[in-house]
Amino acid sequence: MLRSFRLGNHKSFLEEQELMLMPSIDRKRFVLPVTAIYGANASGKSNLLDGLQFMRSAVLSSFRRWDALEGVPRMRFRLDPRAAESPSIFVAEFRVEDVPYTYGFTLNDERILEEWLYSYPKNRSRKVFERSRDQVKFGSTLAESHAKLEVLEEMTRHNALLLSVAIQSNVDFAKPVYQFFSRFLIFSGVGAGPVSASAARFVDARPENRERVVELLRVADMGITDLVIEENEDPFWRRRQREVEARLKAVESQVADSGTEVDPRHIENLRRELDEFRQGPARTVYQIKTVHGHSEYLFDLTDESQGTRSWLRLIPTALTALDRGSVLVVDEIDSSLHPLLTARLVGLFRDERTNPNGAQLIFTTHDTSLLGTMLDGEVLQRDEVWFVSKKDSGSSDIYALSDFKPRAGENTERRYLRGSYGAVPFLDHDDFVAAVGGGIDQTRK
């Protein structure tokens, strides 16, 4: 479970900002099951989630995928030239197997500047490691030998996280942190685009998976009564094989007919690639077909509405999160989904019957109806709502609805739309009329 996330100098976030996921209202749970993030278009909502995704990617793959001869692929704030000289920071507090952890790092365009990991078994602070540039201090309680830790330090490049190196080296202290970022932090898309093959594989993996997905489609009142998964050979994979065969044949003919010199490594690489195609199993693509009513006709997903596809895209990741107790992060959850359906999804994470493992749902949205009363009562509690607003400088700030003193009988949705909490666009009708007519009177602005 994720307790908090802090970032600074990433995209539209110049100053450090922190998203707190602990309840401010007395609750039984250790963290909030749901966190909704509101804000105007281009306020920075997606950038906040992108910062968490960047942190995840750096942990899992900076050692393997970041170019050893290059710097760090950070995305700093670009509207202030001073940000180029300032570090970016990412810090997460989370819990794995009942042990709290704090992990974070700072970096610039060239290298990792600082990195640290602390654990808190039995509420006692324990240093796992602290890094300053290329110098690392390990905690005294680690199980690894001194020699192994020295090798780990030597393997760590200037532009790679030590934790990423430790993960690839199968070091014990990195395993719970790796588990959190790889298994317990899930990012899901809702908007336009094909339903991923991973969703089809989820449905096809176990009978109970298919049953639950079909049932969630049925109770969503979309008219779907069953799903069929079809496996077909990937046509692009076969086309690529024919292309390699043609290239190899052309090169060999060129050498045989004209004696042209060709780098033997080029021919060897083509032969090796062709052998992989011929000897390996053919790649398959998974397609989901839908059944409506008692008909035997199978519908392609392209026949379904965008809302149906969005719901089907979201269901497998939501079920995975609920089963594991993971953190599900969704940008623009209301894209193509009816507000009542979004409210029901939120309810699955707030209900201990469907969420016994402490899963969390973090999402951005423009759907203000979720701020009000719907279906069985309030969809969101006050401490589950956060806002992102953009200042005149172009930098983003985040703050919680719980920072505002509640009023008796207040209508949160109405107050938000009226600008009482900020984080809404300022839109003047006369400006729109003037823009259509060819220009805005700047003296009115």
For residue range 159-188, list pLDDT tens digits in order: 999 999 999 998 999 999 999 999 999 999
What is the C-alpha separation between 100 and 180, in angstroms, rounded? 11
Express each pLDDT in 358-409 by its tens digit: 999 999 999 999 999 887 788 999 999 999 999 999 999 999 999 998 877 7
Cβ atoms 108, 72 nearer than 8 A: yes
CA atoms within 13 A on the CB side of 432: 4
* The pLDDT value given to residue 420: 93
Contacts of 400 (CB under 8 A, 6+ apart): 20, 24, 383, 385, 386, 387
* The pLDDT value given to residue 198: 76
Instruction: Provide φ and ψ at 56, rounded to 5°.
Output: -60, -45
Which residue blocks in 280-428 are alpha helix, DSSP H? 306-324, 339-350, 412-417
238 falls in which pLDDT band (50, 70, 90)? confident
What is the C-alpha separation between 289 and 293, in angstroms, rounded? 13
Decide if pLDDT at 439 tops 70: no
Cβ atoms 27, 382 nearer than 8 A: no
- Bridge partners (DSSP) listed for residue 362: 35, 329
Mean pLDDT (the chain) is 90
Domain edges within the chain: 1-184+325-405, 235-282
Q: How many helices (H) and strands (E) does the chain have?
A: 12, 18
Which residue blocks in 108-196 are alpha helix, DSSP H? 146-155, 162-168, 175-183
* The pLDDT value given to residue 252: 79
Fold type of domain 1-184+325-405: Rossmann fold (3.40.50)
* The pLDDT value given to residue 440: 61
Express each pLDDT in 316-365 by its tens digit: 999 999 999 999 999 999 888 999 999 999 999 999 999 999 999 999 99
- Bridge partners (DSSP) listed for residue 32: none
Decide if pLDDT at 308 tops 70: yes
Contacts of 289 (CB under 8 A, 6+ apart): 227, 228, 229, 230, 298, 299, 300, 301
What is the C-alpha separation between 308 and 105, in angstroms, rounded? 40
Residue entry with tokens 């969420």: 355
pTM of the entire structure? Answer: 0.86
Decide if pLDDT at 31 tops 70: yes
In the 8-state DSSP scheme, what is residue 393? T
- Bridge partners (DSSP) listed for residue 18: 6
